[in-house]
Amino acid sequence: MAAFDIYPEYEIVRNNERCTNCRVCEKQCANGAHIFLTDKNRMAADDAKCVNCHRCVAMCPVRALKIVKTDHTFRENSYWTGKSIKEINRQAESGGVLLSSMGNPETYPVYFDRILLNASQVTNPSIDPLREPMETRVYLGSKPEKVVRDEKGRIKVDLPPHIMLSIPVMLSAMSYGSISYNAHESLARAAAEAGILYNTGEGGLHENLYNYGSNTIVQVASGRFGVHKKYLSSGAAIEIKMGQGAKPGIGGHLPGTKIVGDISKTRMIPEGSDAISPAPHHDIYSIEDLSQLIYSLKEATGYSKPIIVKIAAVHNVAAIASGIARSGADIIAIDGFRGGTGAAPTRIRDHVGIPIELALASVDNRLCDEGIRNRVSIVAGGGIRSSADVVKAIALGADCVYIGTAALIALGCHLCRSCHTGKCNWGIATQREDLMKRLNPDWGYKRLVNLLNAWKHEIMEMMGGMGINAIESLRGNRLMLRGVGLNEKELEILGIKHAGE
């Protein structure tokens, strides 16, 4: 219906003086945006197919390409934006739910960017991490109420299971199926090299990756794909996924077209069958039911592994977290509304959930007020972009953070937010063999390890600047934070003072 044609969002600009018609761009674009015109002996482009993933730009040997946002425009209207008009047209045409990927890209406040860190001057001198010991190691798990000694005065060591991380960062859940095997292998190897943990997501664990078990969190979600005794026993921790920041309140759906080969084998469902994770766990309608799943997992693994319960940051997150802390969980993972996904209904992704900074601060407050903060560790995720976000999250009360999007960017993701098409030109969110092999795990994991090492050093420098030499002393240390441009209520929830106070 040409009358309603939607003008492309991006335009491919080709410098024809540089272009040598080598056709690399054509080969690299799984979306078919580049076409070679044989009769005219030159390249052409179909802008409508471009997702702005920069693959062609990066691969062009003569730098002849760039992608620009189109300046074609609707009549200016600050309320009915071009985006709104285009989305209505899409839906009027198809009758379908708008689907998109990665995290919420809209212009909501970013509290991390309204919080500044402290540094020592004169008194309580700063510490140079290059010449003084600096502890970035953290242990996640339930901590005892108090130290208990036997009759000879020795400390009784009867701790629940813990996981040890060299830095307070873990790689968050991304399932095999939503991302490629090479991406999964890169995550597993990076976690092992960096001394941290990665998370299988809900798609099971590929048989080749079982030997990274001590650096693996195995996830149990409502679909229970690939969950069996060996899987549960192989990880260092088990995560029950109740919710996800990118799509709180709804389930998952990996279309049957992606259930092929090893994905089918790993998820233990037939090829071509849809993998549907129902919105709720249909055996969990209460904290008591959740507790039951936690303990059945503990029983199945002989109480040898901490159980993580992951929830999306939503309105009543503090009360929910309080319930979870009392349910027998060892770790609570809270996923903010900026968290990524391989596919989510756009309206859910962009309008449901709350910022992780506020959720984290209110959960930490609530658990401290109730005297149960020691029972659980807190993992904050959903939009952690840098080591500064990590430090701020820890000072707001987290034990460690989950990173997903940042890890994928290290592996080559250019955030074109088209994961749901399955045609990821960078070999991450795809199962197409030819695309997948573009991500070489040998260098993928190294890039990720580089990122983690860089962050580790930055974290140490920021801590050193504050005169703090251990992550333990930073956790929940809100005196190290000041707000800028925040109102009273925001400061109250974050539990921080305004800059200048």
Partner 1 sequence: MNVSARRLGSRALNDEIRRAEEDIIIEDCFGERYIGSGASSITITINGTPGNAMGAYLDGATIIVNGNAQDAIGDTMNDGKIIIHGNAGDALGYAMRGGKIYVKGDAGYRTGIHMKEYKDKRPVIVVGGSTGSFLGEYLAGGIIIVLGMESEAFPVGDFTGTGMHGGLIFIRSSTPPAKLHKQVTVSLADDSDMGFINEYLMEYADTFGLSIDEILRKPFYRLAPNAKNPYKQLYTIY
- Judged by phi (left if over 0) then psi (alpha if -120 to 50, else beta), residue 392 lies in alpha
**Position 273 contacts partner 1 (CB under 8 A):** yes
Q: Which residue has the tokens 């609530």?
A: 366
**Position 256 contacts partner 1 (CB under 8 A):** yes
Compute the least distance from the CB of residue 21 to partner 1, in Å. Answer: 31
Among 59, 287, 300, 493, binds partner 1 (CB under 8 A): 300
Compute the distance between CA of residue 65 and CA of residue 50 in angstroms, rounded to an integer. 13
**Position 249 contacts partner 1 (CB under 8 A):** no
Among 214, 272, 351, 433, binds partner 1 (CB under 8 A): 272
Say which amino acid occupies 119.
Answer: A
3-state secondary structure of 217: strand
**Position 69 contacts partner 1 (CB under 8 A):** no
**Position 499 contacts partner 1 (CB under 8 A):** no
Among 26, 46, 47, 87, binds partner 1 (CB under 8 A): 87
Instruction: Scan residues 162-221 and list those touching partner 1 (CB under 8 A).
Output: 220
Query: 249-277 burial, b for 16+ CB within 10 Å, e for fewer?
Result: ebbbebebebbeeebbebbebeeeeebbb
Among 60, 227, 309, 449, binds partner 1 (CB under 8 A): 227
CB-based contacts of 106-109 (< 8 A; 24+ apart in sequence): 106/350, 108/337, 108/355, 109/355
Compute the least distance from the CB of residue 331 to partner 1, in Å. Answer: 20
**Position 70 contacts partner 1 (CB under 8 A):** no
Compute the least distance from the CB of residue 274 to partner 1, in Å. Answer: 5
**Position 302 contacts partner 1 (CB under 8 A):** yes
**Position 10 contacts partner 1 (CB under 8 A):** no
Q: Are 318 and 354 in contact (CB under 8 A)?
A: no
Residue 201 contacts by C-beta under 8 Å, 6 or more apart in sequence? 173, 174, 175, 176, 178, 219, 221
Instruction: Scan residues 417-476 and list those touching partner 1 (CB under 8 A).
Output: 420-421
> DSSP letters along 393-435, please?
HHHTT-SEEEESHHHHHHTT------GGGTB-TTSSSB--HHH
**Position 347 contacts partner 1 (CB under 8 A):** no
Region binding partner 1 by CB under 8 A among candidate stretches 111-119, 174-182, 281-289, 437-445: 281-289
CA distances from 43 to 35, 52, 63, 370 (A): 6, 18, 14, 66
Residues binding partner 1: number (CB under 8 A): 47
Compute the least distance from the CB of residue 232 to partner 1, in Å. Answer: 7
3-state secondary structure of 382: coil
Among 17, 76, 299, 488, binds partner 1 (CB under 8 A): 299
Q: Which residues of this protein are in contact with partner 1, per CB under 8 A?
A: 86-87, 90-91, 93-100, 220, 222-224, 227-229, 232, 253, 255-256, 264, 268-270, 272-274, 276, 278, 282-283, 289, 292-293, 295-297, 299-302, 345, 420-421
